[in-house]
Amino acid sequence: MIYEVAELYIKPESHTAFQAGVAEAVPLFRGAKGCLSMRLDRDIETPDTYHLVIGWETLENHTVDFRGSTDFQAWRTLVGDHFARAPKVEHFATVVDGF
């Protein structure tokens, strides 16, 4: 499994609408090929910053299957207007699973 961690920078006036858009998008991720988990975390010290953390079976499930789908376009329609700047997206693999 790999984790997509998207750092999202949201316009100060858009938090409520952005969070509602992410909640509405949950079924898009739940139905995506290889998507195992999805959560949204808000930065306590920098409240305009969020981390969208998605578990994928493979990197390609995200970069090819999901990004090439109509569900990705629907996702961007739901949340894209709330971005203050482009998201930073990286992929991680767990190397130590402490507990």
Q: Given this model, what pLDDT does residue 23 score? A: 98
The b-or-e profile of 56-87 (16+ CB within 10 A means b, else e) is: beeeebbeebbeeeebeeebeebbeebeeeee
For position 10, what pLDDT does the model report?
98
- Taking 50 as the pLDDT cut, the residues of the chain under it are none
pLDDT at 29: 98
pLDDT at residue 56, as a whole number = 98
Say what the pLDDT of residue 98 is: 97
